Amino acid sequence: MLEQTFFQAIVALVGSLVAASCAWWYFRRVRLDRPPIGTFNGRDIAVLLVFIVVLPMLYLILPSLMLTGLLILTFTSALYIALRPLLALRYLWTFIAVLLISNIIIAQTLLGTRSGWQVYWLLTSIAVVIAAVGVSNLYVQGGLRLKTIARFALALAVYDAFFSLVVPLTPALADAFEGHPLDPAIGFVMGTYSANIGLGDVFVYCLFTVAAYKGFGKRAAIAALVVVGVFGAVLPAFAPLIITAFVRGQLGIVVPAQAIFGPAAFVTYLVLARQAKERSMADWYALQATLGRKPLRAARRVRTAPAPAPAPALAMAAAAEPRAAD
């Protein structure tokens, strides 16, 4: 139990910090087109919360083939959003196709071997990191503030605790995705140990870090990474040693990480807000212009159909939670 806990902590810590750090770098270097729907705000978060409640139930009743199709659509949309500013279309679609198809093939043929599981988790983790980085930046660059994200994390804390400890929806969802193609999680297998952290948690950590940097600067981003590492990865990993309700015998461990991270994120925002006023994206652009900084890349403007809507990625992200197999 203790060895599995340390393994879960390492996987969750590395996965969370790598994703959040990449999202921070992406925000500094890449500019996405503002969405035609206007600025993202609390209403968009309210819509997302509706998806959070409804979609997990839908995932549990969908046939396997339909669930795979929905995951393909979700990852394709999110990967397109993240990579469109960086890759030409011919390379972009080739990369997406190879990444997703190889994941599906390995999930169907090689999961009976340890090396198969490792390659499967490597491909899945790459897709999850890119998806979380792109969609979180779309929302923050679209105007979403840390204030709204902190409230969202607090609401997720209540949701996560309820549907893990009172109504076991999250454990059932974790079981449904286990070994399924395109499992929305970052994970790894080594020896007899297996651990992962869900895309929903990773997405919130990316949102929190990027918005902290945009709103309050570099020190705030570093503080956000510390909060993500401690309250989003390490403490949830060690929680089963204290709270036995998270342990399901031979079925594995499911920890509602947002129940621990949400309050810490909200308190962090309150501390930052007392020290300075949160910058908007307009303020951020003005500051960068004053300092003479330009993004490494800007979203290409092409005469094609607009990028796929991010809603499926966000909805699926909110449905996936961390779990560790014994």
Which residues constitute the domain of residue 67? Answer: 2-325
In the beta sheet, which residues pair with residue 298?
Answer: 31
Tell me how long the chain is: 326
Cα–Cα distance measured from residue 222 to residue 121, given in angstroms and rounded to the nearest whole number:
28
The domain tally of the chain equals 1
Is the distance from CB of 211 to CB of 325 less than 8 angstroms? no
CB atoms within 10 A of CB 191: 8
Pick the more confident residue, 41 or 299. 41
pLDDT tens by residue, 137-196: 999 998 899 999 999 999 989 888 887 777 766 666 766 677 788 888 899 988 888 888
* Confidence (pLDDT) at 325: 46
115: number of CA atoms within 13 Å, CB side?
0
* Residue 27 in this model has a pLDDT that exceeds 50: yes
* Residue 305 in this model has a pLDDT that exceeds 50: no
Query: One-letter amino acid identity for 244?
Result: T
CB atoms within 10 A of CB 227: 21
CB atoms within 10 A of CB 152: 26
Q: How confident is the model at residue 304 (pLDDT cuts 50, 70, 90)?
A: very low
Q: How confident is the model at residue 37 (pLDDT cuts 50, 70, 90)?
A: low
* Residue 274 in this model has a pLDDT that exceeds 50: yes
CB atoms within 10 A of CB 36: 6
Cα–Cα distance measured from residue 9 to residue 4, given in angstroms and rounded to the nearest whole number:
9
pLDDT tens by residue, 66-120: 888 988 998 999 999 999 999 999 999 999 999 999 999 999 898 878 888 999 9
Nearest to 123, CA basis, from 194, 191, 187, 80: 187
* Confidence (pLDDT) at 76: 95
Query: One-letter amino acid identity for 291?
Result: L
Nearest to 92, CA basis, from 280, 314, 308, 323: 308
Q: What is the pTM of this model?
A: 0.86
State the average pLDDT over residues 281-291: 87
